[in-house]
Amino acid sequence: MINPAKFFRMKALWDRFAVNHPKFPRFLQAAAQSSIGEGTVIEVKITKPNGDTIASNLKLSAEDMELFQELRNFSETE
């Protein structure tokens, strides 16, 4: 069960993050609406101020799709 106090704290932090970085939530919305499905590759790259980078990717399986559906449902109930 989700702790309501922690949930509201996370919501407040996310709202502040979204104000500071407005392109990122719009990117996530566009990605969610683009029919992410089995076989989709998600790649993440992080670049530190000194130029060091780390990157990883994953290919979504049929089993992964349940998580993505739940995330969509969760965001629709906000």
Q: pLDDT, tens digit, for every residue of 10-60?
A: 999 999 999 999 999 999 888 888 878 899 999 999 999 999 999 999 999
What are the boundaries of each domain within the chain?
A: 1-34, 37-78
pLDDT of residue 73: 78
**How many other CB atoms sit within 10 Å of the CB of residue 68?**
16
The backbone torsions φ and ψ at residue 49, rounded to the nearest 5 degrees and listed phi first, read: -55, -30
Model-wide pTM > 0.85: no
* C-alpha to C-alpha distance for 36 and 2, rounded to whole angstroms: 26
pLDDT of residue 54: 99
- For residue 71, give the amino acid letter: L
